[in-house]
Amino acid sequence: MDVQARTRFVRLSPSKARDLARRIQGRPVSEALDVTGHCDRKSARLLGKTLKSAIANAENNAKLDVNGLIVKRAVVDEGPRMKRFWARARGGVRPIRKRMAHLTVVLTDGTESREPQE
C-alpha cells in the first residue's frame, strides 16, 4: 500500500533538492532518515520533514508497520516563481526569479492494494 506526503510552495530551487531526492529513493525509511539527518543542506531538512510526515501518515492513517516501509518515490517538482527586479547601472533593471518547489515523498510496504472489482 502506498502512502504519500507533500510539502508545497517551499522557497528552494528544485535543482538543488533533486540530487538528495534521488539518493533517498528506493531505500528503507531508517536509511533515508539517516541520509537526510546527516546532510547540512536546506533541502535535506525539508525532505526530512516531508519524509517524517509520510511516516506519520503511514502509521496513523494507514496503520502500517514503520519498520517495513521503503521510499518508493521522492520527487521535487517546480513550483511558481516570484519575479523580482534588481536595480542596475544607468537606470536599468535585471529580473530575479525566486524559485519554489513542491516536495512529494511516497512510501510503500511492498504490498499491492487492489480494490475488489465488480
| Stretch 56-78: mean pLDDT | 94
The model carries a pTM of 0.86
d(CA 118, CA 101): 40
d(CA 103, CA 43): 10
Distance of CA 15 to the CA centre of its chain: 12
* CATH pick for 2-108 out of 3.90.550.10, 3.90.470.10, 3.30.40.10, 1.10.4100.10: 3.90.470.10
Q: What is the pLDDT of residues 3-47, one digit of tens each?
A: 999 999 999 999 999 999 999 999 999 999 999 999 999 999 999
d(CA 71, CA 108): 6
